[in-house]
């Protein structure tokens, strides 16, 4: 088998991809972005491993041997599934490999914002703490999670993990199902307006779709508590970034933690890039999924998807 890894660096150079060589000749590219690069590099491939590279009619039509596309990711919006199905090309993704890490990062941001950790760390390191005449300092108020209401959008694996941790902190958990089809009975399901009005912490764990695009817009932000903290570890376009900037600057909500933004990497044209106050806004570079352990699992799960395919079995296939 001829296997092409288009975006080897998407899983980090500190994580080995050598296990993929179990299945044949592997050609590895550090990164692949343009249509022309994709077309040239997959021309003779039987199996393509990708993350964001466009895989559609334009890039695949001359790649006559491709039988399987493996995502180094859960998302597969870089693939034209209908076209792949018409060609008999199976597309697989990696599932539930970073649930614990995304949940962990959700709380890392929530706690940092709630406890104003950046401010107090800077206070100590600046020398101000050493020069004061008292043992403690709490010049900016900070708050407990216990007793607060934690709202969730997207009660899948990650949403449920976050809910269990929030409950462990003593939070009251509720959630909103965008589709209205959630089967979760462990926590109260509420409508959007109730979620916005009652959440002290609101974390987003939903996929991007027409239903979730700009789910948090100017109107939604106006309905939230002025003390609320918003966490987005889902997709950047679930939150209207301009509306969030205005809400933070006007004090409509207290703070936000974002691992994703509308266009990545963050552009200087995004108004959120102007906010330097880390007690108000924390932005991390789309890394909530990327612990060493999670990236290792991602590669191994892709390996297992290929192994299943070669045995004639469907494993994590996302197209009919």
The pTM of this model reads: 0.92
Task: List, run by run, the mean pLDDT of 10-residue segments along the chain (320 residues).
Answer: 97 98 98 97 98 97 98 94 98 97 98 98 97 97 98 97 98 97 96 98 95 98 98 97 98 98 97 98 97 98 98 96
DSSP per-residue string spanning the chain: -EEEES-GGGG-TTS--GGGGGGSEEEE-S---SHHHHHHHTTT-SEEEESSS-BSHHHHTT-TT--EEEESSS--TTB-HHHHHHHT-EEE---SSSHHHHHHHHHHHHHHHHTTHHHHHHHHHTTHHHHSSSS----S----STT-EEEEE--SHHHHHHHHHHHHTTPEEEEE-SSS-----SS-B--HHHHHHH-SEEEE-PPPSTTTTTSB-HHHHHTS-TT-EEEE-S-GGGB-HHHHHHHHHHTSSSEEEES--SSSSPPTTSGGGG---TTTEEE--S-TT--HHHHHHHHHHHHHHHHHHHTT--SSB---
Query: Active site includes 30?
Result: no
Angle CA 54–267–265, to nearest 5: 45
The string over 260-270, giving b where at least 16 C-beta atoms fall within 10 Å of a residue's C-beta and e elsewhere, is: bbbeeebeeeb
Angle CA 293–295–299, to nearest 5: 115
Q: 172, 286, 297, 315: which is the annotated catalytic residue?
A: 286
Per-residue model confidence (pLDDT) at position 320: 87
Measured CA to CA, the distance from residue 224 to residue 193 in angstroms comes to: 9
Query: Active site includes 235?
Result: yes
The residue whose two tokens read 């206070």 is 123
Residue 214, phi then psi, degrees to nearest 5: 55, 35
Q: 8, 105, 176, 235: which is the annotated catalytic residue?
A: 235
The token pair at 141 is 């108020």
Q: 25, 128, 263, 264: which is the annotated catalytic residue?
A: 264
Measured CA to CA, the distance from residue 176 to residue 32 in angstroms comes to: 37
Are the beta carbons of 91 and 84 closer than 8 angstroms? Answer: yes
Are the beta carbons of 252 and 228 closer than 8 angstroms? Answer: no
Would the CA dihedral through 101, 106, 112, 114 be positive or negative?
negative
Measured CA to CA, the distance from residue 198 to residue 183 in angstroms comes to: 22
Query: Active site includes 286?
Result: yes
């Amino acid at each position: 088998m001829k296997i092409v890894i288009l975006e080897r660096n998407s899983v980090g150079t500190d994580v080995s991809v050598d296990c993929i060589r179990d299945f044949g000749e592997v050609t590895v590219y550090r990164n692949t972005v343009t249509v022309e690069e994709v077309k040239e590099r997959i021309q003779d491939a039987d199996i393509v491993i990708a993350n964001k590279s466009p895989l559609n009619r334009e890039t695949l039509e001359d790649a006559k041997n491709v039988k399987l596309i493996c995502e180094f990711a859960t998302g597969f919006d870089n693939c034209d599934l209908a076209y792949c199905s018409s060609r008999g090309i199976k597309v697989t993704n990696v599932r539930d490999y970073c649930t614990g890490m995304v949940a962990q990062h959700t709380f890392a941001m929530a706690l940092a914002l709630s406890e104003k950790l950046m401010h107090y760390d800077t206070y100590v390191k600046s020398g101000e703490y050493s020069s004061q005449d008292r043992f403690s300092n709490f010049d900016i108020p900070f708050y407990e999670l216990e007793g607060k209401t934690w709202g969730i959008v997207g009660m899948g694996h990650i949403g449920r993990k976050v809910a269990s941790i929030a409950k462990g902190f003593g939070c009251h958990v509720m959630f909103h199902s965008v589709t209205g089809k959630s089967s979760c009975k462990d926590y109260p399901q509420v409508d959007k307006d109730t979620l916005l009005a009652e959440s002290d912490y609101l974390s987003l764990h939903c996929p991007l779709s027409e239903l979730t695009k700009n789910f948090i817009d100017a109107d939604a932000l106006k309905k939230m508590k002025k003390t609320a903290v918003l966490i987005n570890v889902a997709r950047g376009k679930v939150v209207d970034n301009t509306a969030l900037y205005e809400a933070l600057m006007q004090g409509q909500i207290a703070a936000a933690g974002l691992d994703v933004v509308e266009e990545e990497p963050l552009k200087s044209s995004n108004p959120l890039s102007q906010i330097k106050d880390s007690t108000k806004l924390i932005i991390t570079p789309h890394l909530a999924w990327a612990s060493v352990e999670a990236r290792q699992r991602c590669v191994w799960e892709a390996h297992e998807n290929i192994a299943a395919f070669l045995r004639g079995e469907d494993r994590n296939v996302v197209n009919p």
